[in-house]
Amino acid sequence: MSTAPDVYQKQGFGHAVAPKAPYGLLIIDFVNGFADPLTFGGGNIDPAIECTRGLLAAARTRKWPIAHTRVVYQDDGADANIFALKVPPILALREDAPQSQIVPQLQPDSGELVLRKIHPSAFFGTSLAGWLSQRGVQTLLIAGCTTSGCVRASVVDAMCHGFRPLVVTDCVGDRSLPAHEANLFDMNQKYATLMPRDVALEATAAH
């Protein structure tokens, strides 16, 4: 019986898409609530946050456009949506709530975009696509959490907007390791290039 990778290969999935300059970096929802296993965290999210420190430092040195996202709902919950119906505790992530703040290790610098969002995708209902296009970004390196949720949704939308998504595999995390692995596999077959951090930085070092 054929294994799943054999089926994908035979059907023509998984072709390599080489990174192409200019580059940008998107860091998705690395906020305190997703770093806390008692709130929305767990799995390999903490190691992914630590690995992203080096990725962020390199992006700053190379002067790439850098965007961060936070999940932020109104204090009165008036902007509650279907996502909030599926995950009601997400409404606790409000503007001033400690759990909605970006983790101390990855605090944005001046000139870096910080987007508030209420949907899984960093692109849906935000200015991200236009902001990246204005800066000429061709390949978008992506870090953040969760791999099976907001990362995947953002990867699909990045591709749909004409960017080349490059998922930095050791800089994305999920509370569920099986979900993390399954979604990395699927994104690699259909939507994105996947590389660990050091390989990604080497592949993009010329620009």
Which residues are the active-site residues? 150
Backbone angles phi, psi at 179, to 5 degrees: -65, -40
Burial 97-118 (b: 16+ CB within 10 A, else e): bebbbbbeebeeeeebbebebb
- Tokens representing residue 31 in the block: 């906020």
- Tokens representing residue 47 in the block: 């190691």
Task: Report yes or no: 139 and 166 within 8 Å, Cβ to Cβ.
Answer: yes
Residue ranges with strand state E in the chain: 23-28, 66-71, 113-117, 139-145, 164-173, 193-195
Listed in sequence order, the residues at least 6 apart from 92 whose beta carbon sits closer than 8 Å to its beta carbon are 33, 99
The CA distance from 141 to 59, in Å, is 10
Task: Report yes or no: 28 and 150 within 8 Å, Cβ to Cβ.
Answer: yes
